[in-house]
Amino acid sequence: MTTAPAAPSTRAQDTVEKDSLELIRWPDPRADALTGPGLGSLSVASLLASSAGRHADRIAVVCGEERVTYAELWDQARAYAGAFRARGIGPGDRVAVLVPNVPDFPRVYFGLLALGAVVVPVHLLFTADEVEHVIRDSGATLVVAAAPVLAAALPAAAAAGVPVVTVLVPDALRDKVPAPRLEDEAAATEPLERLVPVPPLAPATVLYTSGTTGKPKGAVGSHLAIVENVNVVLIDCFDMRTGDVVFGGLPLFHTFGQVCVMNTAFRVGATVLLLPKFDPATALKIMDAERATVFIGVPTMYGALLQAAGPHRDGGAELPPLRYAISGGAALPEAVLDRFQQVFGAPVHEGYGLTETSPVASFNRVGEPAVAGSVGFPVWGVEAEVTDPAHPERIVVLPRGERGELVIRGHNLFKGYLGNPDATEAAVVDGWLRTGDIATKDDEGRIRIVDRAKDMIIRNGYNVYCREVEEVLVRYPGVASVAVFGVADDEHGQEVHAAVVLEDSEAGRAFDADAMVTEARQHLAAYKYPRVVHVREAMPQGPSGKILKRELVAEYES
């Protein structure tokens, strides 16, 4: 159903405060300079706008046969912004976006941000009910949906009473889709001339967490937190340069791919290789053809690439000339890290972050020796401490070397959970974000993530840290990936289970689960090794590729 364009928004100078989003209005010039919010402005959209001037003719994105320069991409984003403006979208308006890793994602993303609007990326595998929850919870006034996800987006938007515009709908199907095409509306309107200025702490995104407890919550990220995260990792952490070719297979609706790949690459004028759906063989082929220099991924991607490398495990012309690689999203097993560095000849640097930290909080800085099993040091301007989880109402810092809950504070923290002050208050105590991760910090300040607090297994009263067990099991021959988790048990409280994915069918024929357990017993205490091993074709994964252990627990407890 086509909706008539509304009058352009004139709220840029007005107080904008809707549904606890806590948008910050432009300050009154008469305000006290010491106490007022300031007169500065900052926009995430400047990451693309600036490079469009500095690197106009460089290729910004490659997707299949499509190659788009920085100047072209910014012009296209401004054209989309003109179409959004004609629909009445302006500062503070939230727009739900369901677009895969194709050039239309940055066009829509930066077009909205250029208007001062708030981008609400939606997981592409969500059902219609889940999409509807995000639309309603975020207060979105418009949905932008790509052709491949219209089956979920259209009924969800209709149920929420929100209009839809599409992208990627071919001409032959235009009359069969009950929603207008954004491309057509952009062609019929004047493009946005320049960025709409917004205060630095104004919201830029609402990213929905994976929802380990209950429905997903919307984490509100500010322009300042996102831009500062990009600048800090470029100065102190990543060695990303103008002209680099960066693998872009991480989903752009997730903070890792959105900030660490797209936004960071655009800041320096690098090229992003977009892959709508991660497939290891396709990824290797594209990275080799485009001579990729930087790989950024989650541990499951590293394992999959090693499997796909197959006959080229000793290196060769068919493998991309990577200068280095970055891993995040979950702990990368040391055995996988070692194999990847050997096969691809590229050092791997691990980091740590969350949606709520925009996302990078700590990192093994490129240019310095990385310590396997460590997520490095807190990034510039960010503090991290290990605290006693027995005191959730206050921060009790533990001595160096002790295990406890990791807490973080700094410029990278989110604004809070949209419309959920109770969840925000529980997550942030005295200005520190409780991460829910169990960690240690050595005398030098280096951080190691031991486990998720919710993933820790308690067997016969003893704490079993899943990552410690996984590091042992993944070294067994033929194992591509492993996930250790606890299943309720009447006798022991919880029993240690392991889910295993094998490298290939040949490994499957030779794999002996009992032998793997016997080998593990030589390296693990009696209460730690797995009593049950499940061989699987694949692991359940979240939006960033992280293994969803809660689904494994639910499956095997039932």
pLDDT of 25 reads 56
pLDDT digits (tens, 9 = 90+) for 272-302: 999 999 999 999 999 999 999 999 998 889 9
CATH number of the domain that 126 lies in?
3.40.50.980
Round to whole Å and give the CA distance between 307 and 340: 10
CATH code of residue 472: 3.30.300.30
Q: How far is CA 473 from CA 302, 500, 530, 537, in A?
A: 17, 9, 9, 17
* Per-residue tokens: 404: 């406890």
| Nearest Cα residue to 270 out of 247, 249, 241, 291 | 241
At 109 the three-state DSSP class reads: helix
**Is residue 306 one of the residues assigned to a domain?**
no
SS3 category, 429 = strand
Confidence of residue 5 (pLDDT cuts 50, 70, 90): very low
Q: Are 343 and 357 in contact (CB under 8 A)?
A: no
Taking only the tens place, the pLDDT of each residue in 209-237 is: 865 446 789 999 999 999 999 999 999 99
Q: Which two tokens stand for residue 380?
A: 């510039």
Instruction: Return the structure tokens found at 274.
Output: 């977009």
Distance (Å, whole) CA 63 – CA 68: 9
Most confident of 131-135, 523-527, 537-541: 131-135
pLDDT at 501: 93
Alpha helices per DSSP H over 115-197:
128-138, 150-160, 182-187
Share of the chain above pLDDT 70, in %: 92
Decide if pLDDT at 515 tops 80: yes
3-state secondary structure of 327: strand
Residue 495 covered by a domain: yes
Integer Cα distance of 276 and 147 in angstroms: 13
The reply to whether 364 falls in a domain is no
Task: Please give the pLDDT value at position 148.
Answer: 96
Domain membership flag for residue 158 = yes
Query: Tell me, what's the pLDDT at 26?
Result: 62
Residue 28 per-residue DSSP state = P
Q: How many CA atoms lie within 13 A of 481 on its CB side?
A: 24
Q: Looking at 152, 178, 198, which one is the last position of a domain?
A: 198
Stretch 161-172: mean pLDDT: 97
Q: Please return the burial class of 314, using the count of CB atoms within 10 Å of its CB with bins 0-12, 13-18 and 19+.
A: exposed
Q: Which residues contact 425 (CB under 8 A, 6 or more apart)?
A: none
Ranking 88-97, 111-120, 435-444 by mean pLDDT, the lowest is: 435-444
Place of tokens 């910014």: 74
Q: How many residues in the chain?
A: 558
Longest alpha-carbon distance in the chain? 76
Domain holding 151, by residue range, is 49-59+69-198
Q: Are 208 and 217 in contact (CB under 8 A)?
A: yes
Locus of tokens 């401490």: 385
Cβ pair 45, 195 in contact under 8 A: yes
Average pLDDT, the chain: 90
For 79, other C-beta atoms within 10 Å of its C-beta total: 21
DSSP symbol at 175: G
The pLDDT of residue 290: 97
Residue 325 has which token pair? Answer: 């690689």
Output the six-digit token pair for 210. Answer: 């994976």
DSSP conformation letters of 516-548: HHHHHHTTS-TTTS-SEEEEES---B-TTS-B-
Instruction: Find, among 542, 549, 556, the residue nearest to 255 by Cα.
Output: 542
pLDDT of 318-374, one tens digit each?
799 999 999 998 888 888 999 999 999 999 999 999 999 999 999 998 788 888 889
Q: Which range, of 58-67, 190-199, 442-451, averages the lowest pLDDT?
A: 442-451
Last residue of a domain, one of 198, 213, 241: 198
Q: How many CA atoms lie within 13 A of 498 on its CB side?
A: 29
Query: Is residue 544 a part of any domain in this protein?
Result: yes
Q: Is 193 helix (H, G, I), strand (E, B) or coil?
A: coil
Residues 429-485 have pLDDT tens digits of: 999 999 989 999 999 999 999 887 778 787 877 778 788 899 899 999 989 999 999
**Bond from prior residue into 477 cis (ω within 30 degrees of 0):** no
User: By mean pLDDT, which of 180-189, 402-411, 544-553 is the weakest?
Assistant: 544-553
β-sheet bridge partners, residue 429: 432
Within a domain: 177: yes
- Taking only the tens place, the pLDDT of each residue in 243-270 is 999 999 999 999 999 999 999 999 999 9
Contact 257, 273 (CB under 8 A): no
Q: Which amino acid is at 5?
A: P
pLDDT > 90? residue 312? no
Query: What confidence tens digit (pLDDT) does each residue in 30-53 have?
Result: 667 787 778 899 999 999 999 999
Whole-prediction pTM value? Answer: 0.84
**Tokens standing for 231?**
């600048």
DSSP strand pairing (59-63 vs 271-274): parallel
pLDDT at 209: 85
Q: Supply the DSSP symbol for 376.
A: B
At residue 18 the predicted structure's pLDDT band, cuts being 50, 70 and 90, is very low
Q: How far apart are the first and last CA of the chain?
A: 44
Of 538, 409, 539, 528, nearest in space to 465 by CA: 528
Count structural domains, the chain. 2
Residue 162 CA, chain-centre distance (Å), reads 26
Cβ–Cβ < 8 Å for 349, 487: no
Q: Is residue 12 part of a domain?
A: no
Which H, E and C letters describe 438-460, residue by residue?
Answer: EEEECCCCCEEEEEECCCCEEEC
Where among 198, 221, 236 does a domain terminate? 198
What percentage of the chain reaches a pLDDT higher than 90? 73
Give the model's pLDDT for residue 413. Answer: 97
SS3 state of residue 334: helix
Q: Give the residue-averaged pLDDT of 165-170.
A: 97
What is the rounded distance in angstroms from the CA atom of residue 77 to the CA atom of residue 85?
12
Asked if the structure places residue 508 within a domain, the reply is: yes
The pLDDT, as a whole number, for residue 7 is 38
